[in-house]
Amino acid sequence: MTEKKQSHGIQRRDFLKTTGAAALGLGVTGFPAVLRAQPAAVKVGLIHPVSGFIAFSGTQCREGALMAIADINAAGGIKSLGGAKLEAVLADSQGKPDIGAAEVAKMAEAGVDGFVAGYSSAISLATSQEAAKTNTPHIVDVGVSDSIVNRGLSNTFRFGPGYGKIAAFAVDNLDTINKAAGSPAKTAMIIHEESLFGTGTANLLSEKLPEKGIEVVEVIKHANPTRDFTNIVLQIKSKKPDLIIPANYYNEYVLLARTMRQQRVEAMGIYSVLGGAASNYKFVKEFPEAAEYIMDCNHWFNPKSDVALQRKKAAEDKGLIYTYEVFLAYNAVLGLADAFERAGTTDKEAVNAALASSTMDMSFMPYGPTKMVNGQNEGAQPVNTQVLKGDIEVIFPEEFASAETVFPMK
């Protein structure tokens, strides 16, 4: 036995010696000559929760960001840096803020030039704070919490809208939609999940809706996961609200919508804010009957922009479901690349300054002109969508609308 082990050991050492020497030889003689001809790649750290409980969204973000990098490189890279290519450096935050921050620290030390992270608000708060220690530019792709940009970090930027704006927009638009139909909706019921997102939304809407003449008759909180929504739906049936407002993540949203359909709930409208499934093609495709007429206030692309539609098609050709994570992460990379381009350097100070003065054309989104205030793009806004005839249509604001609102629903 001992002999056998020894013989293995010697073979392995021999192998290492040979291959090591060969690799060294190649390194000295071959590849560097090729590499020297290229400008150094610009490293972009992509940190997303690609495993853990929000892995689906994290993976969608990563795919969107990688598509943007591929597109930028295919178009010649960063021209002001001699056509330098963007190089993705990937990490998994596992859905945990502390791991996200640790990955930022590692990458910053390894010389990453900028970050696009972290999908959820909690992770984005941690990653941007860590990146601030080295002043490395950090774009938050999705995280909507207002506190992300309210901390005065000079390295943290967001091209998409924040929560305050989305919520205000949602309430105002609901009011407009209701008034346009002759104000038929007078009562609402809110069904929300128990974490910060659902509870925050429920509190905010409970406060704001009465100001618009809509009484909130009941607020029901549920756990994640909730295996069965029949009870909640029975309560909805007994209260007979005009509007049903769900604020929950994908799985629970789908179960709730299916149960409402099964229990033949009749309401004037189902309206959600950042609804977990309402603006998701997957839900609409799998359960067209349950999804029909559901309205949502969420991130969306400009359906009238050819560029946006091309990107959607490219993503779908790759087998991706074109959810907001995909295009928001895509935009975040675009914004960072634009800053490198205008700065003409990867110097952190200069890139942050370029980001702060960004006026990037974002006409592929339903946004106004890009204008950064404290790292937040003030031009960004959500839209209202509605599921109509098995497709997701933009119904509000009018300049981006692809269909007429159906309210009250039939």
* Residue 148 or 267 with smaller CB distance to other proteins: 267
Shortest Å distance, C-beta 378 to other proteins = 34
What's the chain's Rg over C-alpha atoms?
A: 25
Provide the strand spans (E) within 162-206: 187-193
Shortest Å distance, C-beta 325 to other proteins = 12
Of 198, 131, 95, the residue nearest 355 (C-alpha)? 131
Decide if 119 contacts 141 (C-beta within 8 A): yes
Shortest Å distance, C-beta 305 to other proteins = 28
In order, the DSSP letters of 106-147 are HHHHTT--EEEE-SSHHHHHHHHHHHHTTT--EEESS---GG
* Residue 274 or 355 with smaller CB distance to other proteins: 274
Tell me how far apart the alpha carbons of residues 376 and 149 are, in angstroms, rounded to a whole number. 6
The 8 Å CB, 24+ separation contacts for 218-222 are 218/189, 218/190, 219/189, 219/190, 219/192, 220/189, 220/190, 220/191, 220/192, 221/192, 221/193, 221/194, 222/191, 222/192, 222/193, 222/194, 222/248, 222/252
Shortest Å distance, C-beta 100 to other proteins = 17
* Residue 44 or 233 with smaller CB distance to other proteins: 233
Helix or strand (DSSP H, E) at 256: helix 250-262
* Residue 138 or 258 with smaller CB distance to other proteins: 258
Percentages of the chain per state (helix, strand, coil), in multiples of 5: 50, 15, 35
Buried b (16+ CB within 10 A) or exposed e, 212-224: bebebbebbebee
Shortest Å distance, C-beta 123 to other proteins = 15
* Residue 35 or 234 with smaller CB distance to other proteins: 234
Shortest Å distance, C-beta 235 to other proteins = 7
Shortest Å distance, C-beta 59 to other proteins = 6
* Residue 134 or 263 with smaller CB distance to other proteins: 263
Tell me how far apart the alpha carbons of residues 284 and 278 are, in angstroms, rounded to a whole number. 8
Shortest Å distance, C-beta 216 to other proteins = 16
* Residue 273 or 290 with smaller CB distance to other proteins: 290
The contact set with other proteins (CB under 8 A) reads 51-56, 58-59, 194, 220-223, 225-228, 230-232, 234-235, 237-238, 250-251, 254-255, 258, 261-264, 282, 286-287, 289-290
* Residue 257 or 380 with smaller CB distance to other proteins: 257
